Amino acid sequence: MLESFKGDEASRLQDDLRRAGINPSWWVINQSWNLLETSDPILQGRAQAESAWMTEVKDRLSKKCSLVRWQITESVGWLNLMNLVEERDELNGQPN
């Protein structure tokens, strides 16, 4: 999915949830390029493009937001999920 559509998708989902009487207290942004340390200009561009919709999710859609960096493999199993929880949330400066 193109980065510019992610924020639109999150906004539409938020509207749908509110119409259904559900008000989420957290948003999780998965597979973020933003925390990826790379010198590749294409991946740097993806990370930069992501920043605008990440700010929209954090500032407009939710008071709490957690960011999960892009990973090559899925985090399956208790220990792998715990490693994600222990990483710092770069958006909020707080532990996940």
Query: CATH number for the domain including 48?
Result: 3.40.50.300
| Structural domain boundaries, residue 35 | 3-95
Number of domains comprising the chain: 1
- β-partners of residue 94 are 89
C-beta atoms surrounding 79 within 10 Å: 8
Query: Is the pTM above the cut of 0.85?
Result: no
The answer, yes or no, to whether residue 85 has pLDDT greater than 60, is yes
- Output the CA angle 45-46-50, nearest 5 degrees: 115
The confidence band for 1, taking pLDDT boundaries of 50, 70 and 90, is: very low
